[in-house]
Amino acid sequence: MLIVIGLFLVLPSRAAADHLFATTMDPPNLPTQTNRLGLLGPCIRGIPERDFPANTGFFVAHGWAYIPWEDATPVERLAFVSLASVFVLTIDGQVQTFVLHMALINTPDGQFMSKLFVSEYDRGYAGTHVFVGTWYYDASDPSIGGAFGQRVQIGDPCVLTVHFV
């Protein structure tokens, strides 16, 4: 079963030595601190804006999960790991860079595969900014029925206006 996941976090940039995403995790790779900024939760709940502390490092981490991984067919696995299966974050209309985190986690109920796209901002922001997150999946997945490598948008983009105060 394919699941959209969103871990909304606030992190330092990739050049920083103390990545909040990497240092605030408990197994199985779930963020534990409050310095995260998420889009999926507010989007699902219909919350269009929120406040966040200005000049405070944060990160955004969203992506995909597949449960149970051991039941995925070879075609489903290929679609999952495809470069077309991505999360794209824009801030004020500018596409953001990310670091890809993939993990296969064994649980008593089976294997859990996660694919997270993490963007980090070690110095934070000030003022008001518009975050837009869009999830895409490879069309070769049997539930979609297209060609391998073809990117298909899944659902509507999540838009969140953040007031850094």
Domain extents for the chain? 2-164
**DSSP labels, 115-133:** EEEEEEETT---EEEEEEE
Q: Compute the distance between CA of residue 61 and CA of residue 135 in angstroms, rounded to an integer.
A: 12
* pLDDT score at 109: 84
* pLDDT score at 8: 39
pTM over 0.75: yes
* pLDDT score at 151: 96
* pLDDT score at 34: 60
Residue 51's H or E segment, with its range, is: strand 49-52
For residue 7, what are its two tokens? Answer: 């871990």
For residue 101, what are its two tokens? Answer: 């985190």
Per residue of the chain (165 residues), what is the pLDDT tens digit?
665 555 433 333 333 334 556 545 554 455 555 678 889 889 999 999 999 999 999 999 999 999 999 999 999 999 999 999 999 999 999 999 999 999 998 888 889 999 999 999 989 999 999 999 999 999 999 999 899 999 999 999 999 999 999
* pLDDT score at 9: 37
Residue 80's H or E segment, with its range, is: helix 74-81
Q: Is 86 helix (H, G, I), strand (E, B) or coil?
A: strand
CB-CB neighbours of 144 under 10 Å: 15
* pLDDT score at 1: 64
For residue 142, what are its two tokens? Answer: 């049997």
* pLDDT score at 2: 61
* pLDDT score at 36: 81
